[in-house]
Amino acid sequence: MVMVETKLEHILTNSYKADMIAYMKSHPEDFEEAIKLAISNKPPYSWRAAWLLWSCMEKNDQRILKYVDIIIDTIPTTSDEQARELLIILQHMELTNDNEGKLFNICINIWEKIGKQPSFRYNAFKLMIKIIKNHPDLYKEIAFLTESHYTDSLSDNVKKSIFKMVIGLKKRFKQ
């Protein structure tokens, strides 16, 4: 059986990002399809849909809210590229305590894999920081996770950004 590409799938693989965003703005009815593609295992559309979503969504977008659990569950089962984009989507969402606990563990697992792409690890770290701001008791985890073993493989700019986030937490919690 031959699968026919949807209009959105065609846009995702044949357009520049600005054109994709314009398409989504003029076709809000396709937002749900974009979410479903982002959490599916349908290369090359899945990571592209997730990449597009965080550029088209509002902060704590109500259209994504009902998918947060599924997005979190999807992260460990997808490609690093797709998972990175899903992490970025979640950075723009308000999460429940249950979501945060599960996501924090996923992010630690990503961060600890020093062979993973730095941008993937960096976005996991950013979510850990966001979660720690809501749960100061997790702050003690950061000292261990920022040892040179975990940061040596990162660029100087990424290291600088990470340490800036950690300093911000120190000030916040007056450590």
Average pLDDT, the chain: 94
Q: Are 142 and 130 within 8 A, CB to CB? A: no
Predicted local confidence at residue 174, as pLDDT: 76
- Locate the domains of the chain by residue range: 1-94, 116-175
User: Could you tell me if residue 11 is left (phi over 0), alpha (psi between -120 and 50 degrees) or otherwise beta?
Assistant: alpha
Q: What does the pLDDT look like over 154-165, one tens digit per residue? A: 999 999 999 999
Question: For the chain, what's the residue count?
Answer: 175
Average pLDDT over residues 119-140: 94
Pairwise CA distance, residues 6 & 66, whole Å: 23
Average pLDDT over residues 44-61: 96
Residue 128 has pLDDT above 80, yes or no: yes
Other C-beta atoms within 10 Å of 116: how many? Answer: 17
Residue 175 has pLDDT above 90, yes or no: no
Q: Percentage of the chain with pLDDT > 90?
A: 88
Q: N- to C-terminal Cα distance for the chain?
A: 61
Say which DSSP state 124 is in. H
Say which DSSP state 120 is in. H
Predicted local confidence at residue 88, as pLDDT: 98
Predicted local confidence at residue 1, as pLDDT: 64
Of residues 99 and 175, the one with the higher pLDDT is 99
Q: Are 151 and 114 within 8 A, CB to CB? A: no
pTM for this model (two decimals): 0.93
Q: Which two tokens stand for residue 142?
A: 């950061």
Q: Are 27 and 38 within 8 A, CB to CB? A: no
Pairwise CA distance, residues 90 & 95, whole Å: 8
Q: Give how far Cα 92 sits from Cα of 60, 62, 152, 157, 172, Å.
A: 6, 11, 28, 23, 21
Predicted local confidence at residue 4, as pLDDT: 83
Q: Which two tokens stand for residue 87?
A: 């992490």
Predicted local confidence at residue 122, as pLDDT: 97
Predicted local confidence at residue 12, as pLDDT: 97
CB burial of residue 143 (10 Å; 0-12, 13-18, 19+) = exposed
Average pLDDT over residues 49-59: 96
Pairwise CA distance, residues 38 & 159, whole Å: 29
